Amino acid sequence: MVNWYMSGGHADGFASTSLRFFKDLDDPSNFKLGAISIQELELVDARRHLAYYQVEQYTEPLANARWHSTLDTPAGVLAQLRSAMSGSLADPAVLFIQQGGQGHSLVPYAIQEMTDGLWHVWVYDSNYPGKFPNDTSRKLLVDTAQNLWSYDLGWGIWTGDAESHSLGVVQISQYALQPNAPWLGVSPGVEVDDGEAAQLWLIGGGHLLVNDSQERQLGYDDGQFVNEIPGASYNVSAGGLEGELEPVYSIPITGTYTISLEAGGITETKVVSVTQFGPGYAVGVQGIVLMVGKQNETIQASGSLFMPPDGSEVAYTAFDLQEVDLLVTFDEAAESYQFLITNADVAAGGKTALFVDKVEQKLGLQGCESSGGVYDLELQRISEEGIQHFNHVDIEIGANDTHYLTYSNLGGAAVIRIEIDEGSDGTINNTIEVVNQAWQIFMPSLILD
């Protein structure tokens, strides 16, 4: 996921890394033997370091710090910055800006009041030293009287006001804290009583719109961004390159949500994936095709998804004929499971769902192709015994049937039994057995007399 998001740039990694060198938190000699200055480092020396600090923005506690900073006004953010840069124990900050689905990070090194209420924040911009090595004219403008900010990126001018929540700062000490992945029970920006949240990612293109049970929304509604869900937040990637990326959304797991996927903004067909991470689980739909319609080039919606907050199910309703992959993965006390259904046929207007009953230790797949279809099954279990795989391709499923299998005996199984509920009426009508087709390696043996 984050590798795809880094296609939008590494600005936050460059900004935070430059400040870490400035504060002597990093030493050039640790990156390249014998290096004394930062200028001696080449891309191969620093690539991993830059990527690590670029990715931190999607994890706690850094993401939460970013989110809360943007809730302030431009004048308030400037006050945050002045505080971070002042005093004998200054904790300098990364300054980040947003415009729509684009984000960028800068390093402020000086603040200058020009006239009453108008301030220049002088910045290092990682997009420019490579093009203009001696460019020292980069500055962000803040008007505290009118609560406005603006910055000329060279290829466009970004602006914001007190209502846009598009300007923020994060002190460099935040980047040194241990990052927490969303499946550990915390997610960016969400403040709920139990601290648990789900994080929603879209890669490939298009837009998401999250609806809760009270029809409150988060995401893009007909091209306009809305955030009406209490406790929800969003994280715009600070990459620094042109081109929009969908925000990473965080939603309290105390609710139930339906997610719409639309092809707004794309100009060519895209293959996309939607994944939800929550405490101890991940669920998602991969390989969804978003199309630009041939009739008057109208944008077509692709479908909707249902992913409950406990990670027990992923359901996809297609607006047009699709062939998708469904993923459910979760941790238990002594083992972890990953269930992947690939190449599942979904008819236009049909629904398919992959779900888990952890009490009965059963996995279920509901088919929807009107004339029946096929799917591939990939199961994986990780425990103290090691990693066990079970794969089988081209399993036939009837129209509107549901298939069940017991996953508790997955480890080392050569054959598993699939129970078939014809018509999904709750009655098992038939069973089939499928053989493990996972790759096996046979080593030659040497017999010595």
Q: Which of 175, 161, 41 is closest to 105 using CA atoms? A: 175
443 occurs within a structural domain: no
CA atoms of 65 and 235, how far apart (whole Å): 11
Q: Are 227 and 172 members of one domain?
A: no
Same domain, 218 and 171: no
Q: Tokens 């006239």 map to which residue?
A: 115
In this predicted model, what pLDDT tens digit does every residue of 342-389 receive, in sequence order? 998 888 888 899 999 999 999 999 986 666 788 999 999 998 888 888
Task: Give burial (CB, 10 Å; 0-12/13-18/19+) of 426.
Answer: exposed
Question: CA–CA separation, 24 vs 132, rounded Å?
Answer: 26
Between CA 15 and CA 65 the distance in angstroms is 16
210 and 319 share one domain: yes
Residue 59 shares a structural domain with residue 90 = yes
In a domain, 441, yes or no: no
Domain match, 167 and 188 both: no
Instruction: Please check whether residues 144 and 226 belong to one and the same domain.
Output: no
DSSP 180: B
The whole model's pTM is what? 0.87
Phi, psi of 358 (to 5 degrees): -75, -25
Q: How many domains does the chain have?
A: 2
Tell me if 444 is assigned to some domain. Answer: no
Q: Clarify whether residues 65 and 190 are in a common domain.
A: no
Same domain, 364 and 227: yes
pLDDT tens across 99-130, in order?
Answer: 988 999 999 999 999 988 999 999 999 988 75
* Distances, alpha carbon 137 to alpha carbons 129, 132, 168, in Å: 11, 10, 21
In a domain, 14, yes or no: yes
Asked if residue 314 lies in contact with residue 272, where contact means CB atoms within 8 angstroms, the answer is: no
If asked whether residues 201 and 269 sit together in one domain, one would say yes
Residue 251 within a domain: yes
Taking the C-alpha atoms of residue 327 and residue 330, their distance in angstroms, rounded to an integer, is 10
Pair (152, 210) in one structural domain: no
Domain identity same for 94 and 220:
no
Angle, to 10 degrees, between the axis of helix 11-22 and the axis of helix 43-55?
Answer: 110
Per-residue confidence (pLDDT) for residue 294, from 0 to 100:
39
Last residue of a domain, one of 120, 153, 176: 176
146: containing domain: 2-176
Query: What are 55-105's pLDDT values in tens digits?
Result: 999 988 898 899 999 999 999 999 999 999 987 778 999 999 999 889 999
Last residue of a domain, one of 176, 191, 217: 176
Structure token digits, residue 268: 């060519």
Q: Is residue 116 part of a domain?
A: yes
Q: Please tell me what DSSP assigns to residue 262.
A: E
- Whether residue 445 is contained in a domain is answered as no
The residue out of 148, 176, 204 marking a domain boundary is 176
191 and 167 fall within a common domain: no
The verdict on residue 447 lying in a domain is: no
pLDDT in tens, the chain (449 residues): 888 899 899 999 999 999 999 999 999 999 999 999 988 999 999 999 999 999 999 988 898 899 999 999 999 999 999 999 987 778 999 999 999 889 999 999 999 999 889 999 999 999 887 555 557 789 999 999 999 999 999 889 999 999 999 999 999 999 999 998 878 765 444 444 345 778 999 999 889 999 999 999 999 988 889 999 998 989 899 998 888 889 999 998 888 899 998 877 677 888 999 999 998 999 999 999 887 653 333 444 568 889 888 889 999 998 888 889 999 999 988 899 999 999 988 888 888 999 999 999 999 999 866 667 889 999 999 988 888 889 999 999 988 899 999 988 776 678 999 999 999 999 999 999 999 998 655 567 777 76
